[in-house]
């Protein structure tokens, strides 16, 4: 059963749109999903229904500046004028606490895809004691020098353009190279999936067709920077189970190479239970790929293997 509800963002002004998928039986586990950039939580409906059929309750929300967590479409791609990185992870925690209130003794897992994987990585640097495991999907790792430059560039541009400006230059800096390895490309979004039907659905969805503002990009670059800092990684509890999954043709993760860098960074700070799977020929959205149920089953298996 799927239901929608709202809760107040920790920015104290925005109503956050959330969804819950409840199995017919008592849940054996809970998975909270943090969606990616320029999308919304209901894109995970098929995956959530699969997990429901296997006894897992699923919750998730539209991040600030996404989906229905806006007052108008003009707010798409704009996070907040405050400390957006903290607001984003605190909104995740708010949803977690609301869900745990109803299911206090059910094992609780968090999963983040793409931008959501970076937000989730920051979340576990702060709240790893509150969860039983984490799935990091479609992640990556740019150099800190690149991210520092990108932050400075967006800040400089904001002085003349304003934080709500949507820059083609910054957008191309972030996404310009994603489709290169898939030439000749059928669409600008071939890098998302080999499944043409899924790509066409994405392209026809208005909630997936906006550009980030300078505000959105600045805070995204900042989150990507923060999750590489050793002082933050060292705050994760060492026995937190971690499952990293990605396609080996995903440009966000440099075809798996940068996913393995994240894996090694976790191991370097002493994380004891880290598993990594790269799916051959899968692109960025592995949950919307050809044979996506292979991924569905792997996530379910991993969750079940970490339930006491």
Nearest-angstrom CA–CA distance, 221 and 295: 28
- Is-contact 252 181, C-beta < 8 A? no
C-alpha pair distances (Å), 215 with each of 15, 157, 161, 167, 218:
19, 10, 11, 11, 5
Domain count, the chain: 1
* Per-residue pLDDT tens digits for 194-247: 999 999 999 999 999 999 999 999 999 999 999 999 999 999 999 999 999 999
* Per-residue pLDDT tens digits for 58-73: 999 999 999 999 999 9
What pLDDT shows up at residue 272? 98
Domain that holds residue 253: 2-305
- Quick one: what percent of the chain has pLDDT higher than 70? 100
* Per-residue pLDDT tens digits for 6-35: 999 999 999 999 999 999 999 999 999 999
Task: Return the CATH number at 211.
Answer: 3.40.50.1820
Q: How many CB atoms lie within 10 A of CB 101?
A: 8
Average pLDDT over the chain, rounded to an integer: 98
Global pTM? Answer: 0.98
Q: What is the mean pLDDT of residues 170-182?
A: 94
**In the structure, what pLDDT confidence band is assigned to residue 187 with cuts at 50, 70 and 90?**
very high
Q: Which residues contact 78 (CB under 8 A, 6 or more apart)?
A: 64, 65, 163, 164, 213, 215, 216
Q: What is the rounded (10 degree) CA torsion for 160, 163, 167, 170?
A: 100
Count CA atoms within 13 Å of residue 147 on its CB side.
Answer: 16
- Is-contact 253 283, C-beta < 8 A? no
Dihedral over Cα of 257, 232, 132, 87: its sign: negative
β-sheet with 2-8: strand ranges across: 2-8, 15-21, 56-61, 29-34, 108-113, 133-137, 242-247, 274-279
Q: Which residues contact 72 (CB under 8 A, 6 or more apart)?
A: none
Q: What is the mean pLDDT of residues 187-197?
A: 97
**In the structure, what pLDDT confidence band is assigned to residue 308 with cuts at 50, 70 and 90?**
confident
* Per-residue pLDDT tens digits for 108-126: 999 999 999 999 999 999 9
Q: Would you say residue 87 has pLDDT above 80?
A: yes
Q: What is the mean pLDDT of residues 79-100?
A: 98
Q: Would you say residue 297 has pLDDT above 80?
A: yes
**In the structure, what pLDDT confidence band is assigned to residue 180 with cuts at 50, 70 and 90?**
very high
């Amino acid at each position: 059963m799927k239901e929608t509800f709202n809760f107040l963002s920790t920015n104290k002004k925005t109503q956050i749109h959330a969804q819950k998928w409840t199995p017919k039986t008592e849940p054996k586990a809970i998975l909270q999903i943090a969606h990616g950039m320029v999308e919304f939580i209901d894109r995970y409906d098929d995956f959530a229904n699969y997990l429901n059929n296997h006894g897992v309750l699923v919750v998730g929300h539209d991040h600030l500046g996404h989906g229905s967590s806006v007052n108008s479409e003009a707010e798409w791609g704009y996070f907040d004028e405050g400390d957006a990185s903290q607001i984003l992870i605190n909104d995740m925690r708010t949803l977690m606490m609301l869900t745990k209130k109803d299911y206090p003794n059910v094992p609780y897992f968090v999963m983040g895809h793409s931008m959501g994987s970076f937000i989730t990585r920051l979340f576990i640097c702060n709240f790893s004691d509150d969860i039983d495991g984490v799935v990091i999907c479609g992640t990556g790792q740019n150099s800190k020098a690149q991210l520092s430059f990108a932050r400075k560039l967006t800040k400089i541009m904001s002085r003349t353009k304003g934080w709500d400006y949507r820059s083609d230059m910054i957008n191309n800096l972030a996404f310009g190279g994603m489709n290169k390895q898939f030439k000749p490309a059928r669409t600008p979004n071939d890098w998302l999936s080999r499944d043409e039907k899924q790509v066409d659905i994405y392209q026809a969805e208005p909630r997936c067709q906006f550009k980030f503002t300078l505000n959105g990009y600045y805070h995204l670059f900042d989150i990507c920077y923060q999750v590489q800092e050793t002082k933050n990684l060292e705050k994760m509890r060492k026995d937190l189970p971690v499952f990293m999954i990605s396609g080996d043709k995903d440009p966000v993760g440099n075809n798996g190479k940068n996913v393995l860098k994240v894996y090694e960074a976790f191991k370097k700070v002493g994380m004891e239970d880290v598993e990594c799977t790269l799916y051959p020929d899968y692109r960025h959205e592995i949950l919307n790929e050809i044979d996506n149920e292979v991924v569905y089953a792997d996530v379910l298996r991993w969750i079940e293997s970490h339930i006491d």
